[in-house]
A and B are shown apart, each in its own frame.
Chain A
Amino acid sequence: MSSQKKLVVAHAPYWHDGSKISTKNYHIMIAALPAVLMGISQYGAPALGVIAFAMACAMIWEVVWNLILKKPASVGDGSAAVTGLLLGMLMPATAPWWVIALGTLIAIIVAKQIFGGIGFNPLNPPLLALAMLVISFTGIFDFNESLRHYDLGFVMTYPLADLKAFGPDAISKFGLGDLFMGRQAGAIGSTFGLGLIVGGLYLMLRGHMRWEISLSFLAGVFITALLFNLSDSAKYAGPLFHLFTGYTLIAAFFLVPEDSSSPANFIPMLIFGAMAGMMTVLIRNIGAYVDGVVFAVLLMNLCNPLLDKIRPKAIGKVVENA
């Protein structure tokens, strides 16, 4: 039986919903834009420089790694660009170039590629890089110190640092509206609450992000902070203050629901998010660090494989000896 026409044979299914990793990552970058643009409008060219340099560096490290290991180029999937963008958003506008280069190196090579690349990283790459940088170069990530030359027309002290040093009395100068609209000192892309929420809602509605993790993280932060506040309001700040300051919102929408390092089943997602939120407030209120998000999320990343073992019984599964 010979055929004139050469047909392509493949395995079912022959339809696909058209989703792609690159599309997903481009949408994440689009969703991050409002917060990034706000940061750039506040801090000007230096902020733009940090973001652009971080993205460029991250992509270059990915290309270099692929060349060294003779692996197919993976920079086109947008994953490295997203990592660079998010790391840039977590940095102060004054971050020196070598910190950015080093940070993206850690995020791309140490956090992602040595584990096998996209999909294999057990920890969130931008957060692991940030954790290492924060521990190594405390001064650069002390926002009061690094932003001391800026005066943008609002209170230029880092709200969480004030809270840690002087207690809730010191934070009455921050209006919640100001915090929400980005009129607070902090990292380039993490202060504009409204922009982050809009971006996050966009990702949730388009199905590029797991809403369960985001919402349970926010709920975890809110409830834990509320409990602390109720127990002793003279010592602990209110829940909304915790929601709108530091890295809470950027983490909720862009860092905690990172695909590879978070669970995929429903109940584990809720536990994961809620525990990360709880740890965040615990570290902020009774821990040593000013902002607990970084370590709280990394800690929960480590629990992810265990958490994801909680899963529904597959339909038809036969449990023996049960």
Chain B
Amino acid sequence: MIKKSFIGLVKPRLQYNLIPDQIRDLPVPSKVILLLKEPENGGRASALKVGDAVKTGQRLSAAPDSDEYVISSVTGTISAMAPHVGTLGQRYTAITIDAGSQDEWDDSFNKTPTLDTGLKFFEYAPGSPSFKAFADPENTLRTIVIAGMDQDLLLTANQCVVQNEAAGIKSGIDALKQMTGADRILIAVPENLVQQANTTGAEVKVVRATYPNSLPHMIMKDVIGRVVSAGDTVEDEGVFFINAEAVAALGTAFETGRLCVTKVVTVAGKDGSTTNVRARIGTPIKDVLQACNVSLNDRDRLILGGPMRGAATYSEDLGLEPDTDGIVVQDDADSAQTTDYPCINCGECIRICPVKIPVNMLVRFLEARLYEDAAAMYDLHCCIECGLCSYVCVSRIPIFQYIKLGKYELSLIETAEAANE
């Protein structure tokens, strides 16, 4: 945890981790757990059942025509299927696959780089690129930004990929161009990776190494020069963000004919030391931690993602998701405790907010559950969710949590209103 500096007049500057550790390959785990999103109409997975044999790279979906699928990362048999509920109530089916001794590759993947292939095989690739944005006729996405820098502190998974797999990214970019028809492809990297990024053929843009400059909204503002309007996504501005790791996965898949079933993940232990490992998607987090010699005790925090934006989870039996860039273990004694003290109006949050939200007023409205007023008067939807306001809060108010809650409640209201019309 980075503490306030002695000279507190200057803003705290949180630097990204810019020294990617070497990637260590983990052996194939004895079992993997994959989370298959349940279709919105609530239909259970009928096409899959316990005892089915699956091959590495096989596309598993609930029904043959379903859009939701996972890619099996091992060869073996399905040993369990159980319902699982995500943090915001999304419903999943947790598919446990017991791995056999040998990888047998599924051959349904064809090597034609079209959008359909992207939708059908790469939504579950490492980095979870959402090709659905291209399928949406309302968006015309002409620009693609490859994030060569991890969004959160400590993490270096994507930087590692840029450093070591520039060739893979290069062929991935070619595939991306054919799949999407985008004409401008940028790669956003920290200064020390410019050399590697230059070999990929994309337009190289340097991102400053202070948090939160690598968040998509900040890259849009600082690098592309377009400000995303409140409540809009970067896709609404015609820009598609994709992780460097996903591009490299595309490249390797089209070169070798095999889908990428591994994920690079930064593991940070209690002492702040980081290691990068490459593991099969779905590897139980327990196995990853063991391989990295990271101890986990009762009352510790197990954070999927980084320390500023990640999500603490309740179980180490969950599998490594394709969008899990980091696993951070935090000791009970080091964890930030929130309080229910009121805002004392010290103004630290206002000074640090990268989008100039009057957080002191916003949090008062959010605490009073006046979400609509918070959005109308105090710029709730401008928030880019960096978490810095909570980081500096003297009263230790869970401001970031209030903001996420406010946005979630408003989305529920909007959905209900849309349903009534």
Contact = CB atoms under 8 A, between A and B. Distances in A.
Interface string A110-148: 000000111110000000000000000000000000000
A153 interface: no
B201 interface: no
Interface string B201-229: 00000000000000001000100000111
Contact of A13 (B4, B336, B354): B336
B2 interface: yes
A14 B298 CA distance: 17
A11 B404 contact: yes
A317 B345 contact: no
Given A210-B347, A260-B344, A3 B394 contact: no
Contacts, number: 196
Contact of B6 (A21, A206, A259, A312): A206
Contacts of A259: 344-347
A306 interface: no
B8 interface: yes
Q: How large is the interface on A (under 10, 10 to 19, 20 to 34, 35 or more residues)?
A: 35 or more
Nearest to B352: A17
Contacts of B335: 8, 10, 14
B418 interface: no
Contacts of A69: none
With a 10 A CB-CB cut-off, give which of A7, A13, A21 has the most chain B CB atoms: A13
Interface string A1-19: 1110111111111111111
Interface in B136-158: 153
Nearest to B229: A318
A19 to B, nearest CB: 5
A1 B81 CA distance: 11
Given A7-B302, A8-B300, A315 B395 contact: no
Interface in A69-118: 77, 116-118
B78 interface: no
A207 interface: yes
Nearest to B318: A1
A20 B394 contact: yes
Contacts of A211: 9
Nearest to A311: B358
Interface in A170-216: 204-208, 210-211
B56 to A, nearest CB: 23
B307 A13 contact: yes
A8 B333 CA distance: 12
B288 to A, nearest CB: 15
B392 interface: yes
B1 A315 contact: no
A2 B317 CA distance: 8
B328 A14 contact: yes
B182 interface: no
Contacts of B357: 314
Contacts of A13: 307-309, 336, 387-388, 390-391, 400
Contacts of A17: 2-4, 12, 391-392
Nearest to A213: B347
A205 B10 CA distance: 8
Contact of B1 (A18, A314, A317): A18
A9 B302 CA distance: 8
A11 B400 contact: yes
A24 B4 CA distance: 12
Contact of A207 (B8, B332, B338, B390): B8
A21 B356 contact: no
Contacts of A14: 301, 303, 307-308, 310, 312, 328, 330, 335-336
Contact of A312 (B228, B344, B347, B356): B356
Contacts of A116: 342
A16 B370 CA distance: 26
Nearest to A14: B307
A264 B345 contact: yes
Contacts of A149: none
Contacts of A18: 1, 3-4
B106 interface: no
B356 A15 contact: no
A233 interface: no
Contact of B360 (A9, A264, A314, A316): A264
A8 B350 CA distance: 30
A213 to B, nearest CB: 10
Contacts of A119: 341-345, 395
Q: Which 4 A-B pairs have the closest CB atoms?
A: A207-B8, A264-B347, A16-B336, A13-B387
Interface of B: 1-4, 6-10, 12, 82, 84, 94, 153, 217, 221, 227-230, 232, 296-303, 305, 307-318, 328, 330, 332, 335-336, 338, 341-348, 350, 354-358, 360-361, 379, 381-382, 387-388, 390-396, 398, 400-401, 404
Interface of A: 1-3, 5-21, 24, 77, 116-120, 204-208, 210-211, 259-260, 262, 264-265, 308, 311-318
Given A14-B335, A314-B379, 9 more contacts: A12-B390, A14-B301, A15-B308, A15-B391, A117-B342, A205-B8, A315-B382, A316-B217, A317-B230
12 contacts: A2-B317, A6-B298, A7-B300, A7-B302, A14-B303, A17-B392, A18-B1, A18-B3, A259-B347, A262-B345, A316-B217, A316-B229
